[in-house]
Amino acid sequence: MPHTIPYRPSAAARKLLTAALAAGLCFNAVATTSHKVHPPPQAASKSKKKTSAPAAPLARYAEREDAMRFAEEMAARNGLQADWARHAVGQAGFLTYVPRLVLPPPAGTPKNWKAYRSRFVEPIRIRAGVRFWDRHRTALARAEAEYGVPAEIIVGIIGVETIYGQQIGNVRILDALATLSFDFPQEHPRARERQAFFRGELEQFLLLVQRGVLDADTARGSYAGAMGLPQFMPTSWSRWAVDFDGDGRIDLFNSPEDAIGSVANYFKAFGWKTGMPATYPVTFDTARLDLPGLLAPDILPTFTVADLATRGALLGGAAQQHAGPLALVELQNGEDGPTFVAGTQNFYVITRYNWSSYYAMAVLDLGAAVAAAREGVVRP
């Protein structure tokens, strides 16, 4: 799910999130959009992880006029039978806890990069990352060779998203997407835009079901509709998921190889530049520092090295030769002073997976930590 800042739930939402964790839900970041699919398999919709089921939906959408109208319009757009679409949407149920989970934190809620980072760059995740990389080193090396995306970045993404498949979520995708399509909280400041996004994802999910790629009843994932080891949204699955293990089908639930290739393909599609660092260290010349001007474009790469220097942000060493645009990235640390880095096009590409600079830095730092920890266990 696109975010411009990392999600920090309100106190009420934190209680819901705690209950969701106990129920096996995943609420890591969500791919922004989404994907190319081969025919398949019923196993693709079944997680190998056993988790307790979340509460069943209280009401189904079969009696909702807006849901049935959506089904009919979707059927017309895609050349499907209207009866099939109405039946499929009508099987979805309203999940009472989900709308509250997508609400932003109250205005003024402080952000803290150090606390956020500690959730992801920690011993359990690092050890799991070493095992994942060692077990799938051939697939990771092949993905790096074919797509130009470093193994370290792919490992960072899958680790942040699901701890390498340990937390893929246990919410029925059909219910989650229907709830956010037809009952998105209208008090959200971007309610219309977000509701339209989830309706598009529900449509893509149902198209995957209609083609036999996924099973509507058994497909499970996050409360926002993300699926599998890489937590792809349905559109991302349709556009960028690949059959990387060569078995004739795409399975992001049970095939780490497919997940590895799909993440790499996603990054390539969004413009990953092979060999380009994602960030550079930055220092400030306080006498001429124009911090508001540097931060105005947010994380969109906008400035040349010379532009940054003119505004008081200085790069050194190899960064002086960087040819592409750069962004000044600010990471707040609660009551402490913020952390700053210069972000390249590749940093921006990571934020296309989740629209958060905090998320992108967590991916980079986890990948680097796993690579460092793995140095002593690499096999020839």
Q: Which is more confident, 258 or 60? A: 258
On whether both 105 and 194 belong to a single domain, the answer is yes
Domain count, the chain: 2
Q: For residue 37, what pLDDT band results from cuts at 50, 70 and 90? A: very low
Q: Encode burial over 75-96: b for 16+ CB neighbours within 10 A, e otherwise.
A: beeeebeeeebbebbbbbbbbe
For residue 261, give the nearest of 225, 230, 302, 222 by alpha carbon: 230
For residue 34, give the nearest of 198, 255, 182, 168 by alpha carbon: 198
Q: Does residue 161 have an active-site annotation?
A: yes
For residue 220, give the nearest of 253, 267, 172 by alpha carbon: 172
What does the pLDDT read at residue 16? 46
Residue 31 counted as domain residue: yes
Is the pLDDT confidence value at 243 over 80?
yes
Residue 66 counted as domain residue: no
On whether both 319 and 197 belong to a single domain, the answer is no
| The one catalytic residue among 144, 152, 161, 257 | 161
Residue 130 counted as domain residue: no
> What is the rounded average pLDDT for all residues in the chain?
87
Residue 9 Ramachandran class (φ > 0 left, ψ -120 to 50 alpha, else beta): beta
On whether both 323 and 214 belong to a single domain, the answer is no
How is residue 295 written in tokens? 């931060």
pLDDT digits (tens, 9 = 90+) for 65-97: 999 999 999 999 999 999 999 999 999 999 999
Query: Over the Cα atoms of the chain, what is R_g?
Result: 21
Q: For residue 105, what pLDDT band results from cuts at 50, 70 and 90? A: confident
Residue 140 counted as domain residue: no
How is residue 171 written in tokens? 């919410």
What does the pLDDT read at residue 54? 62
On whether both 302 and 203 belong to a single domain, the answer is no
For residue 204, give the nearest of 77, 69, 82, 93 by alpha carbon: 77
On whether both 103 and 195 belong to a single domain, the answer is yes
On whether both 226 and 171 belong to a single domain, the answer is yes
pLDDT digits (tens, 9 = 90+) for 305-354: 999 999 999 999 999 999 999 999 999 999 899 999 999 999 999 999 99
- Give CA–CA dist 17/232, Å, rounded: 20
Residue 114 counted as domain residue: no
State which residues form the domain around 296: 279-343
3-state secondary structure the chain: CCCCCCCCCCHHHHHHHHHHHHCCCCCCCCCCCCECCCCCCHHHHCCCCCCCCCCCCCEEHHHCHHHHHHHHHHHHHHCCCHHHHHHHHHCCEECCCHHHHCCCCCCCCCCEHHHHHHHHCCHHHHHHHHHHHHHCHHHHHHHHHHHCCCHHHHHHHHHHHHCCCCCCCCEEHHHHHHHHHHCCCCCCCCHHHHHHHHHHHHHHHHHHHHCCCCCCCCCEECCCCCECCCCECHHHHHHHCCCCCCCCCCCCCCCHHHHHHHHHHHHHHCCCCCCCCCEECCEECCCCCCHHHHHCCCCCCCECHHHHHHCCEECCHHHHHCCCCEEEEEEEECCEEEEEEEECHHHHHHHCCCCCHHHHHHHHHHHHHHHHHHCCCCCC
On whether both 231 and 294 belong to a single domain, the answer is no
On whether both 256 and 298 belong to a single domain, the answer is no
On whether both 250 and 289 belong to a single domain, the answer is no
Q: For residue 58, what pLDDT band results from cuts at 50, 70 and 90? A: low
pLDDT digits (tens, 9 = 90+) for 12-34: 444 444 444 333 333 333 334 33
On whether both 287 and 220 belong to a single domain, the answer is no
Residue 120 counted as domain residue: no
Residue 373 counted as domain residue: no
Do 33 and 239 meet the contact criterion of CB atoms below 8 Å apart?
A: yes
- What mean pLDDT comes out for the span 237-253? 97
Q: Which is more confident, 92 or 55? A: 92
- What mean pLDDT comes out for the span 214-229? 97
pLDDT digits (tens, 9 = 90+) for 270-286: 999 999 999 999 999 99
What does the pLDDT read at residue 375? 86
On whether both 291 and 235 belong to a single domain, the answer is no
> How many Å from the N-terminal Cα to the C-terminal Cα in the chain?
39
Q: Among 234, 261, 288, which residue terminates a domain?
A: 261
Q: Which is more confident, 53 or 342? A: 342
Residue 257 counted as domain residue: yes
Q: For residue 47, what pLDDT band results from cuts at 50, 70 and 90? A: very low
On whether both 224 and 257 belong to a single domain, the answer is yes
